[in-house]
Amino acid sequence: MTLTGTLPLLRTRRYGSLLSVTGWVAVTVTLVVVLLSLLAPVLAPYDPDFVDLSSVLGGPSSAHLLGTDALGRDMLSRLMFGGRTSLVGPLIVVAASTVLGLLLGLAAGWTDGWISRILTRVFDLLFAFPALLLAMLAIAIFGKGLMAPILAMTISYIPYVARLTQQLVVAERSRPYVQAYRVLGFRTPWVVLGRVMPNLVPTVGAQSTLNFGYVLADLAALSFIGLGIQPPTSDWGAMIEEARGALLGGHVLPALLPALVVVLIVVSINVIGEELSDRIGGKLS
Amino acid sequence: MAVTQLAAPPAPPTPATKKSPTAAPLALVLRKVGTLLITLFFASLIVFFSRFVLPGDPARFLLRGRSPKPEALAEITKQFGLDKPPIEQYFTWIGGILHGDWGRSLTYRQSVSDVLLTRLPVTLELVALAAVFITGLGLIAGMLASLNKGGWDRFILITVTAAGAIPPFVAAIALTALFAVQLGWFPSFGSGDEGPSRLWHLTLPALALGVTFIAFMARVTRSSMNEQLTREHVEVATSRGLTRSSVVFRHVLRNALGPILTVSGVLIAGLLVSSAIVEQTFGLTGIGQLLVQSIDRLDFAVVQAIVMIIVTAFVLANTVVDLIQPLIDPRIAAGTESR
Amino acid sequence: MSKLLEIDQFTLHFPGRGALLNEVSLHVDDGEAVALVGESGSGKSLTTRAALGLFPETSRLSGSVKVQGLDTTSAPAAKLLQLRRNRASMIFQDPRAGINPVRTVGDFLTETLVRWRGLSREESVERAITQLEQVGLRRTKEMMRQYPHQLSGGMLQRVMIAAALLDSPELLLCDEPTTALDVTTQAGILELLREQQQARAMGMLFITHDLNLAASLCDRVYVLRKGEVVEHGAACDVFLSPQADYTRQLVGATPRIELDKVPTAPAADGTMPLLSVKGLGRRYELPGGEMLTALNDATFTLAPGGSLGVVGESGSGKSTLARMIVALETADEGELAINGRVRAPRPLRARERKLLAKDVQIVFQDPYLSLDPRIAVGKAVADVFRLHQGQGRADAVQSARELLERVGIGPERFDSKPRALSGGQRQRVAIAKALAARPKLLVLDEATSALDVSVQAQVLELVEEVREQLGLTILFVTHDLAVVSRLCAELLVLQQGQIVEQGPTAKILSAPTSDYTRTLLDSRPRALWEEQPA
């Protein structure tokens, strides 16, 4: 599973300068964070759950590059392992909602009869439930943890992707080039899947990239208030919560570091998503 | 490139006999209200039947975390009508809601509506204050950015991109750390008493809640106004000799309102739900905090009620937005929805 | 005699890029009508906007643009405001884009009056109503309260003209004001403009890409190409004896009705007609419940090797007819047969479509949306060969190369994406795609209407060539009678869904029997010198 953030790199030769300097910086930041998280079991200097009460709330030192938290656990290791939980949730939600949203949006946009009408109504209904709310409801039913909110948020984000896809498909259908395919006798499934969809996927993909940031923030918020991932598993949101005591006592790092990483990742993903959107919008016009 | 437009829309050239701009406002309102009610109906189905997704004894489910003594089980069964068929349970619930009976809270041993009503004002005030910040700061920032390309624009854009990535809970912590702990200007906990004390207590929470949305509002305003600035009717107005401020107010801002308004609907959803996080963080006694606590304490009746309230508020807000749109853009009233 | 508008060596460029306008010089005297003729990219719009001091942001200027002595390139803001309010006015091309759609017509007209004339609201409304009546509009009181989307294009343009005339300007600038309108509506607007210009003795600078239009309205003409004035002089001189190569090319490319050049239909030898249409009809339901008749009782035939022009204005049903022929729409009543095969009265199945594709193909109007943006043009054409001629990949590419070469797209463009090609080139590719299926009938739905004049002439030439070489039958849908006269032996005139006249082109154009056809012919712009005896 590749992150959307890596695609531009693979196509640099064909597209030339896909992103601005800021964009490439954002990609780099994202990659660094992702790699550090992925390779945490290999690269992390300490076990993230290793409690060492003798070195509580220590600042950065040669032993602990980013210091320690209120239980003496190494911040760097916790951040790296935290990335694994914090990043995987949004990834699943975005990937699943994009795929399902594309399919449903396609069905809603290409057909004209009751299928389209029913799907549109279903989307409208799901729109009434904000993602975070549905996640909370799911937690109320299934219990705390990541599975319930991930499932719920996937369902909540499907209509956003689907509605966008539907609008794009409806617009493309009436374009002369699509009608030319029909008059030329090309089979409809081939036209839809082989020609129309590839024209839409970039736009939808760019939007999904933006959704990643929102989902990450929401899941971290759930962990923050204790409804999501449960301790002692490290997760950036939970880490911030755990560091509140230290913060009030004047020790800033244990709270600041995870907060910074969250903000940094969300900013980077947003920058990438927006630049891609602009780029793609400009290309198709 | 050559723009010799000779589009052939199937429009009959019947001049000036088309419908008046306010074709049938009553019909439109009724239709929207109808859609609202239908959506709420289906939403309530989802909220109510969501607990049936989980297999197992519903009585035990509702009593999770508490001692499942036989008397308690019997009590719960009677109270929630668990021995009756689900459809009937639903109608009892809905009927109760419409009469003001939202069930009983297991945690507080009071009627849910009592618990909710005591907490509603705080949430409303929080959201209202946040909305003030959002519209005020967001709109102004967006307008400034759009009208002053160069200096202000870049600065605002960068600030806004960064601010937009700060989730409410992070903003809450940061603001608390800085303004409450370090500087001591604002309290870091509690909702205070009615009046000025409340306002003072809610300032940081409202800001924390609003940060992401201020950013969002600023960007939407900026892009909507930028789009209008390139429109030909703006150039025409300028060519006729209108001053810049007249052009901006009468032709740019006015036309940019539509998309901004649409976006506000989505913003409200975010506000209502994120307020739960902010309330929990600042210890404010609003319904958001109640929601979180009830999930924590497995008090399902309360959760159900609050979710229903939030969904209703959200759908209501969107309906209001939809109803205002035709007033801003008469083309929508006439049914030719385009921009 | 002071010049009303004097542009002297005016150059406009963006830093780091080439000049968009290069040392342009022109002038308009009081009461004089001058035309500025050019194709897209010529800089004619920029030049006109310069007269009002409307320059693109970050552009660099040199030279001078003086209106009654005031140089707009360097005038202070206050003076510019005065110029725009009192001395010069501009009429823009698309009134639907130019009038704020969320405000009423009345608001549009009175906003300037109220603001600095110091007129009260009632007085402004009075003034506006008077002006509206002067430009030929009726029910003006009601109109003041209406919104732009409730009025037709022609009416809106009159509103725009009324707004421009409200302050009695001395200089009137017109930026292609009739390009977005039907031919008959256009004639009315031009007449209005001419009338007002003479009555008020205004100087007028009229932009157009159409030489005929320029000749019908103006005494003098400037020809602009890529930001430079290539020729100027009296209209009849420039038109009848052009000096510059470009002007000659432009004059040659401008379509004219030349009755002796009309092609002749193939002899009627009793073979089955390629296309046979009987009583064809189609209705739409509009939002709001009304039924619109797009086409009613259309009956005609087209012999193999023939060429039929379908002429009408917007709403005539000509596009509907074209789309029905290629099965993009289904008729509600009547019968349609190609090569004797009667069309089923329902949307076609995949197999039927594939069969039909070998009989008839279509080329659409919009060159920018007619090609898949993601696919290289060579591949797009090769795909058709693979589908219809059953060729393998390598053969298809070869066939595609040859066909593209034939339509004027060289091998260096084979792998280009559509966005790298110009409008004319894209239409050529669209034609190649259609031809790759080896159809017997080619339908062209306003295929050249969106192209520049000179490009249009080239594409029409291509169509003629291809028709002769491949023995194609052509059905050309257009609003332009001159194009039809050049390409089609037979003609069909549609008005609001009804065929009002049909028969040999030459006969109809020289002696039309229907009033509507006569109106269409009369609406064509006629050069000023042709109206008066020399």
Distance CA C484, CA C524 (A): 14
Q: Which domains does chain A have, with CATH numbers?
A: 17-41+65-284 (1.10.3720.10)
User: Within 10 Å of residue C196's Cβ, how many Cβ atoms?
Assistant: 18
Q: How high is the pLDDT of residue B335?
A: 60
The mean pLDDT of C356-376, rounded to a whole number, is 93
- Residues in C 33-92 with any Cβ partner in B closer than 8 A: 39-41, 49, 52, 54, 57, 81-86, 89-90, 92
Tokens 């598993």 belong to residue? A233
Q: How high is the pLDDT of residue A218?
A: 92
Chains in contact with A, counting 3 or more C-beta pairs less than 8 Å apart as contact: B, C
B306, B287 contact by CB (below 8 A): yes
Q: How high is the pLDDT of residue A94?
A: 96
Task: Please name which of A109, A136, A137 lies closest in space to residue A123, comparing C-alpha atoms.
Answer: A109
C71, B258 contact by CB (below 8 A): no
C72, C51 contact by CB (below 8 A): yes
Counting one residue from chain A and one from chain C, the pairs whose CB atoms sit within 8 A come to: 61
Among B229, B240, B248, B260, most C C-beta atoms within 10 A, so best to mutate, is B240
In chain A, residues with a C-beta closer than 8 Å to the C-beta of C437 are 184-185
In chain C, residues with a C-beta closer than 8 Å to the C-beta of B24 are none
User: Within 10 Å of residue B316's Cβ, how many Cβ atoms?
Assistant: 13
Q: Is A93 helix (H, G, I), strand (E, B) or coil?
A: helix
Does C450 sit within 8 Å of B16, measured CB to CB? Answer: no
How sure is the predictor about A23, in pLDDT bands with cuts at 50, 70 and 90? confident
Q: By mean pLDDT, which of A248-262, C93-107, C238-252, C272-286 is the weakest?
A: A248-262
Q: Does A183 touch chain C (CB under 8 A)?
A: yes
Does A263 sit within 8 Å of B166, measured CB to CB? Answer: yes
Q: How high is the pLDDT of residue B265?
A: 80
Q: Which domains does chain C have, with CATH numbers?
A: 5-95+170-253 (3.40.50.300), 305-329+348-523 (3.40.50.300)
Distance CA A2, CA A38 (A): 12
Among A21, A124, A141, most B C-beta atoms within 10 A, so best to mutate, is A141
In chain C, residues with a C-beta closer than 8 Å to the C-beta of A199 are 372-374
Enter the ipTM: 0.87
HSE at residue C83, side-chain half, CA atoms within 13 A, is: 28
Distance CA B113, CA B98 (A): 12
The single-letter DSSP state of residue C260 is G
Which token pair is A82? 């935290």
Q: How high is the pLDDT of residue C463?
A: 94
Does A255 sit within 8 Å of B165, measured CB to CB? Answer: no
Task: Please name which of C423, C303, C441 lies closest in space to residue C362, comparing C-alpha atoms.
Answer: C441
Chains in contact with C, counting 3 or more C-beta pairs less than 8 Å apart as contact: A, B
Residue among C54, C314, C368 minimizing CB distance to B238:
C54
Which token pair is C504? 């040999």
Distance CA B270, CA A251 (A): 31
Q: How high is the pLDDT of residue A125?
A: 92
A256 membership: H or E segment, kind and range: helix A253-284
Q: By mean pLDDT, which of A46-55, C144-153, C318-327, C444-453 is the weakest?
A: A46-55
Distance CA C489, CA B265 (A): 60
In chain B, residues with a C-beta closer than 8 Å to the C-beta of A128 are 39-40, 43, 311, 314-315
Distance from CA of C350 to the nearest CA of B (A): 28
Distance CA B236, CA B233 (A): 5
The mean pLDDT of C317-345, rounded to a whole number, is 92
Distance from CA of B308 to the nearest CA of C (A): 35
Identify each DSSP E strand in A9-121 by its residue range. none
Does A185 sit within 8 Å of C437, measured CB to CB? Answer: yes
Q: How high is the pLDDT of residue A10?
A: 28
Does C433 sit within 8 Å of A180, measured CB to CB? Answer: yes
SS3 letters for B296-339? HCCCHHHHHHHHHHHHHHHHHHHHHHHHHHHHHCHHHHCCCCCC
Assign residue C334 a region (left: φ > 0; alpha: ψ between -120 and 50; beta: otherwise).
left
Gap between the terminal Cα atoms of chain B: 22
Q: How high is the pLDDT of residue B339?
A: 37
Q: Quick one: chain C helix, strand, coil %, rounded to 5? A: 40, 25, 35
- What does the angle CA C49 – CA C55 – CA C56 come to, to the nearest 5 degrees? 120
Does C372 sit within 8 Å of A199, measured CB to CB? Answer: yes
In chain A, residues with a C-beta closer than 8 Å to the C-beta of C353 are 182-183, 185
Q: How high is the pLDDT of residue C533?
A: 53
Does C54 sit within 8 Å of B235, measured CB to CB? Answer: yes
B277, A133 contact by CB (below 8 A): no
C319, C445 contact by CB (below 8 A): yes
Which token pair is C148? 């732009």
Residue C433 pLDDT > 70: yes
CA distances from A63 to A76, A77, A234, A246 (A): 11, 12, 20, 20
Q: How high is the pLDDT of residue B109?
A: 76
Q: Is B11 helix (H, G, I), strand (E, B) or coil?
A: coil
Residue among C361, C365, C373 minimizing CB distance to A199:
C373
Gap between the terminal Cα atoms of chain C: 27
Mean confidence (pLDDT) of chain C: 91
In chain B, residues with a C-beta closer than 8 Å to the C-beta of C116 are 241
Distance from CA of C485 to the nearest CA of B (A): 19
Chains in contact with B, counting 3 or more C-beta pairs less than 8 Å apart as contact: A, C
Q: How high is the pLDDT of residue B19?
A: 43
Does A271 sit within 8 Å of B170, measured CB to CB? Answer: no
Distance CA B226, CA C407 (A): 42
Tens of pLDDT, residue by residue over C22-62, are 999 999 999 999 999 999 889 999 999 999 999 988 889 99
Q: How high is the pLDDT of residue C151?
A: 92
Does A227 sit within 8 Å of B277, measured CB to CB? Answer: no
B85 prior amide bond cis, ω within 30: no
Does B8 sit within 8 Å of C314, measured CB to CB? Answer: yes
Q: Does C445 touch chain B (CB under 8 A)?
A: no
In chain A, residues with a C-beta closer than 8 Å to the C-beta of C328 are 179, 182-183
Does C446 sit within 8 Å of B6, measured CB to CB? Answer: yes
Distance CA C251, CA C438 (A): 34
Distance from CA of B32 to the nearest CA of A (A): 13
B242, C111 contact by CB (below 8 A): yes
Q: How high is the pLDDT of residue A132?
A: 93
Distance CA C102, CA C122 (A): 22
In chain C, residues with a C-beta closer than 8 Å to the C-beta of B231 are 97
Residue A5 pLDDT > 60: no
Residue among C327, C355, C372 minimizing CB distance to A177:
C372
Task: Please name which of A87, A86, A60, A85 lies closest in space to residue A74, comparing C-alpha atoms.
Answer: A60
Residue A112 pLDDT > 90: no
Q: By mean pLDDT, which of B47-56, B230-239, C79-88, C396-405 is the weakest?
A: B47-56
Residue among C369, C383, C419 minimizing CB distance to A176:
C369
Task: Please name which of B1, A280, A177, B6 lies closest in space to residue C422, comparing C-alpha atoms.
Answer: B1
Among A177, A196, A200, most C C-beta atoms within 10 A, so best to mutate, is A177
Does C373 sit within 8 Å of A284, measured CB to CB? Answer: yes
CA dihedral C167→C171→C172→C176, nearest 10 degrees, is -150
- What does the angle CA B143 – CA B146 – CA B152 come to, to the nearest 5 degrees? 90
What are the DSSP calls for C162-216, one per residue? HHHHTT--SEEEEESTTTTS-HHHHHHHHHHHHHHHHHHT-EEEEEES-HHHHHH
Distance CA A189, CA B104 (A): 55
Distance CA C91, CA C234 (A): 24
What are the DSSP calls for C39-80, one per residue? -TTSSHHHHHHHTTT---TT-EEEEEEEETTEETTT--HHHH
Tens of pLDDT, residue by residue over C270-317, are 788 899 999 999 998 887 778 889 999 999 999 998 999 999 998 899
- Across chain B, which has 339 residues, the per-10-residue mean pLDDT values are 33 38 70 90 90 77 72 76 80 82 76 86 91 91 88 88 90 86 79 80 90 91 91 93 90 90 83 91 90 88 90 91 87 59
The mean pLDDT of C403-421, rounded to a whole number, is 93
Smallest CA–CA distance from A188 into chain C, residue:
C350
How sure is the predictor about C245, in pLDDT bands with cuts at 50, 70 and 90? very high
The mean pLDDT of A225-246, rounded to a whole number, is 85
Does A220 sit within 8 Å of B167, measured CB to CB? Answer: yes
Give how far the C-alpha of residue B321 lies from the chain's centroid of Cα atoms, to the nearest Å: 11
Gap between the terminal Cα atoms of chain A: 31
